[in-house]
Amino acid sequence: MASSQPKLTAAILIISETASKDPSTDKCIPALSQVFSDLGSSNWTISTTTIIPDSIPAIQDAVLKACDQGINLIITSGGTGFAVKDVTPEAVGPLIEKQAPGLVHGMLASSLQVTPFAVMSRPVAGVRGSSLILTLPGSPKGAKENLEAVFKLLSHACLQASGGDSRQMHSGGVKKLEKEAGVGGGEKVGGHSHGHGHGHSHGHGHGCGRDHGHGGHHGPKAHTAPEDRPQQSNDPSQGPSRRYRHSPYPMLSVKDALQQIDLHTPSPTTITLPVNESLVGHVLAEDVTAPESVPAFRASIVDGYAVIAGPDAPSTKGTFPVAMISHAQAGEHQKLQPGQIARITTGAPLPPGATSVVMVEDTILVSKTDDGTEEKEVEILTSEIEVGENVREVGSDVQAGDVIMRKGEGISAIGGEFGLLASVGVKQVSVYKNPVVGVLSTGDEIVNHDREGELKRGEVRDTNRPTLLTAIRGSGFEAVDLGIVSDKPGALEQTLRDATRKADVIITSGGVSMGELDLLKPTLERQLGGSIHFGRVAMKPGKPTTFATIPVKSNDGSRIDKVVFSLPGNPASCVVTYHLFVLPALHKLAGVEPKGCARVKVQLDGDVKLDKQRDEFHRAVVKAGADGLLHAVSTGGQRSSRIGSFKGANALLCLPAGEGNIKKGEMVDALLMGKLIGDV
């Protein structure tokens, strides 16, 4: 590459728990920087160096950030071994759009010349967007050797990945390329001769190659190694014989999955709504100030007589003429003169000049008008009326100009917030737009739940869609019914495409397991250009829960992400994962804080058995006991197909994986899905 060309950029991401706590322990950044300055200082600029702990979301965030910045070469160092904490290939693998097995081969081959232990490294390499990503081992020496083995070829690969004209770059033949890269014909690159024809034929996006998720996973054990299996692909058109036979998606913890959801769910957008019933269930996007005071006039708190009290007035005690009447209605009054009183009702304005109101109970009628219909004189029995007594002063409830509600506060159906806005005459407010949620079921076996007649063999009544629609509306959000979609690839793609126009969040159920008809993940990734942020979660039920975003153009031309949750088909799994994963995303979009179900401590009213492998979300009825504690009773059988496990349930017990039982009387965490029930 001629040095007159703009420099290529590189990011060095060190993946190390130790160095992330104490950067001074890192020796990889200097070692790798050395390779750049020794072998390519005129071509390269190192634009970022970062140290990240061994966490899949943290690694993915850093890689995605570098990709978004258009960095040409992203190299990671560390986390490629077999230790439990080593997750770099699992984090980086799913991000790679085009695999580069040649680079992996080159790196491994060069390491093998140094030590047979090189077989214990699990590197991945490939292209995402315009970035080339390489995962190097964590030892400074190993990382340096690996990088050196392929370094001279990288600028060429990066230029192609960033859109360079491949035909032009290859026009001088392989000899010219080798010369430019500084690798002589036949010279070993990573221990292999650099044969033309592989490494230079790009652009044939092969869908296989997410084949590195097999280290340290929980759950059922496969008894064969991936490389012993037939070539795999997530391209449905290749038929069942070529489908993945093990899940290529790393298994995330629930916590990491929730973090991914928070990271990739778009921030709320703002709309203006009138102050009417449509406002309930929204969160304010800005502070609200009161345009008016409440009360707007000096008002009486009681039924009685407005009087003039205070140091300048003679005693209020005595007999006075009733000079005027003030009812609770709009209108003007004359000034109350010393020696006069005015009959007044609760909430009515005090006449000008009046200082206080005497309760009717502290008075007696002395005389009537001649026609006998009205009070003429009234005697006040007390001299102890103070200035301001029984008067609501202007603005004593709310002062005009005061901030009455803050950004982030919600408008509930209980009434307080709505009432406050109404009382001061606020006409419209700026709120976060509540997401619209589309719901579809997938599966050729699924029929409408209310279809007449008996089920044919193999048919299943749609439980998930009507249940989710109800749950979403119950959570206060708008739900759109997208129907049942068959397991034929085109149908799913078309429905999802249409759904991105109708909904902000799309929930599908079914089709996320490992069967050959399970089309969701390939359709999301391959047909809709979506990114799958996770495809498996270490939990029971709900393991295949999948979370993705699909980029779409909004009406104003800007790019927005539509959020897709592909929930498991089994109804209990589907509803658990709705409450656990979808609700926090809806809350984020709607600006609701805190997000998701409330977490409380509950006492078990019976033993519950733990799952050995996975954290479990066990359906339970939680009641407030007379002893002041929350008590939980299991709903019984928890099989993921058994939606009956939700009957009466208002909580999910959060049970850790483990041996044996948690005993009656012990306290566990629970997520509240519904209202607390009293036990008295």
Residues that bind Mg ion (CB under 5 A): 443, 510-511
Contacts for 196-200: CB closer than 8 Å, 24+ residues apart:
198/102, 199/102, 199/153, 199/157, 200/170, 200/174
Per-residue DSSP letter, 70: T
Residues 6+ apart with CB under 8 A from 286: 407, 429, 430
In 149-274, at which residue ranges do the beta strands (DSSP E only) sit? 188-189, 192-193, 251-252, 270-274
- Cross-strand pairs, 324: 342
Helix (H) or strand (E) holding 430: strand 428-432
166 binds ligand AMP (CB under 6 A): no
Q: Least separation, in Å, of the C-beta of 519 and Mg ion?
A: 9
Q: Which amino acid is at 440?
A: L
Q: Which of 72, 99, 441, 549 binds ligand AMP (CB under 6 A)?
A: 441
Q: Least separation, in Å, of the C-beta of 255 and ligand AMP?
A: 24
Q: Least separation, in Å, of the C-beta of 223 and ligand AMP?
A: 23
Q: Are the beta carbons of 609 and 660 closer than 8 angstroms? A: yes
In 194-274, at which residue ranges do the beta strands (DSSP E only) sit? 251-252, 270-274
234 binds ligand AMP (CB under 6 A): no
Q: Least separation, in Å, of the C-beta of 506 and Mg ion?
A: 17
Tell me the number of residues near ligand AMP by CB under 6 A.
19
Which of the listed partners (Mg ion, ligand AMP, none) does 509 bind, with a CB threshold of 5 to 8 Å by partner kind? Answer: ligand AMP
CA-closest candidate to residue 533, choices 262, 133, 245, 220: 262
In this chain, which residue has its C-beta nearest to Mg ion? 443
Task: Choose between 253 and 486: whose C-beta lies nearer to Mg ion.
Answer: 486
Task: Choose between 92 and 440: whose C-beta lies nearer to ligand AMP.
Answer: 440
Q: Least separation, in Å, of the C-beta of 546 and Mg ion?
A: 13
CA 397, chain centre distance (Å): 38
SS3 46: strand
513 binds ligand AMP (CB under 6 A): yes
CA-closest candidate to residue 617, choices 563, 550, 539: 539
86 binds ligand AMP (CB under 6 A): no
673 binds ligand AMP (CB under 6 A): no
Q: Are the beta carbons of 295 and 394 closer than 8 angstroms? A: yes
Task: Choose between 213 and 510: whose C-beta lies nearer to ligand AMP.
Answer: 510
247 binds ligand AMP (CB under 6 A): no
Helix (H) or strand (E) holding 405: strand 403-405
Using the rule CB under 6 A, give the single segment among 346-354, 511-519, 524-532, 652-660 that binds ligand AMP: 511-519
Helix (H) or strand (E) holding 16: none
463 binds ligand AMP (CB under 6 A): yes
568 binds ligand AMP (CB under 6 A): yes
Q: How many helices (H) and strands (E) does the chain have?
A: 15, 39
Q: Are the beta carbons of 215 and 206 closer than 8 angstroms? A: no
Task: Choose between 544 and 584: whose C-beta lies nearer to Mg ion.
Answer: 544
Which of the listed partners (Mg ion, ligand AMP, none) does 463 bind, with a CB threshold of 5 to 8 Å by partner kind? Answer: ligand AMP
446 binds ligand AMP (CB under 6 A): yes
510 binds ligand AMP (CB under 6 A): yes
Helix (H) or strand (E) holding 165: none
Which of the listed partners (Mg ion, ligand AMP, none) does 446 bind, with a CB threshold of 5 to 8 Å by partner kind? Answer: ligand AMP
Q: Which of 77, 232, 531, 570 binds ligand AMP (CB under 6 A)?
A: 570
Cα(497)–Cα(518) distance, rounded to whole angstroms? 18
Q: Least separation, in Å, of the C-beta of 238 and ligand AMP?
A: 19
Q: Least separation, in Å, of the C-beta of 580 and ligand AMP?
A: 17
Task: Choose between 123 and 510: whose C-beta lies nearer to ligand AMP.
Answer: 510
Which of the listed partners (Mg ion, ligand AMP, none) does 462 bind, with a CB threshold of 5 to 8 Å by partner kind? Answer: ligand AMP
Task: Choose between 492 and 582: whose C-beta lies nearer to Mg ion.
Answer: 492
CA-closest candidate to residue 122, choices 215, 17, 246: 215
Task: Choose between 307 and 460: whose C-beta lies nearer to ligand AMP.
Answer: 460
Using the rule CB under 6 A, give the single segment among 94-102, 416-424, 461-469, 499-507 that binds ligand AMP: 461-469
Q: Least separation, in Å, of the C-beta of 510 and Mg ion?
A: 4
CA 363, chain centre distance (Å): 65
Q: Least separation, in Å, of the C-beta of 186 and ligand AMP?
A: 52
Q: Which amino acid is at 190?
A: G
Task: Choose between 37 and 470: whose C-beta lies nearer to ligand AMP.
Answer: 470
Task: Choose between 31 and 572: whose C-beta lies nearer to ligand AMP.
Answer: 572
Give the CA angle between residues 175, 179, 182 to the nearest 5°. Answer: 140
Q: Least separation, in Å, of the C-beta of 616 and ligand AMP?
A: 19
Task: Choose between 513 and 613: whose C-beta lies nearer to ligand AMP.
Answer: 513
CA-closest candidate to residue 282, choices 421, 401, 402, 397: 421
Q: Which of 12, 59, 158, 460 binds ligand AMP (CB under 6 A)?
A: 460
Task: Choose between 543 and 562: whose C-beta lies nearer to ligand AMP.
Answer: 543
Task: Choose between 55 and 509: whose C-beta lies nearer to ligand AMP.
Answer: 509
511 binds ligand AMP (CB under 6 A): yes
Task: Choose between 486 and 513: whose C-beta lies nearer to ligand AMP.
Answer: 513
Which of the listed partners (ligand AMP, Mg ion, none) does 137 bind, with a CB threshold of 5 to 8 Å by partner kind? Answer: none
According to DSSP, the β-strands at 188-189 and 192-193 are antiparallel
Which of the listed partners (ligand AMP, Mg ion, none) does 507 bind, with a CB threshold of 5 to 8 Å by partner kind? Answer: none
In this chain, which residue has its C-beta nearest to ligand AMP? 569
DSSP 480-523: EEEEEE-SSHHHHHHHHHHHHHH-SEEEEES--SSSTT--HHHI
Q: Give the residue carrying structure tokens 């208002």.
A: 650
Cα(469)–Cα(471) distance, rounded to whole angstroms? 6
Contacts (CB under 6 A) with ligand AMP, residues 374-413 = none
According to DSSP, the β-strands at 505-509 and 436-442 are parallel
Give Rg (Cα) of the chain: 36
Which of the listed partners (ligand AMP, Mg ion, none) does 571 bind, with a CB threshold of 5 to 8 Å by partner kind? Answer: ligand AMP
Cα(15)–Cα(88) distance, rounded to whole angstroms? 8
CA-closest candidate to residue 623, choices 679, 562, 674: 679
Q: Least separation, in Å, of the C-beta of 561 and ligand AMP?
A: 24
Question: For binding to ligand AMP (CB under 6 A), which residues are involved?
Answer: 441, 443, 445-446, 460, 462-465, 509-513, 515, 568-571
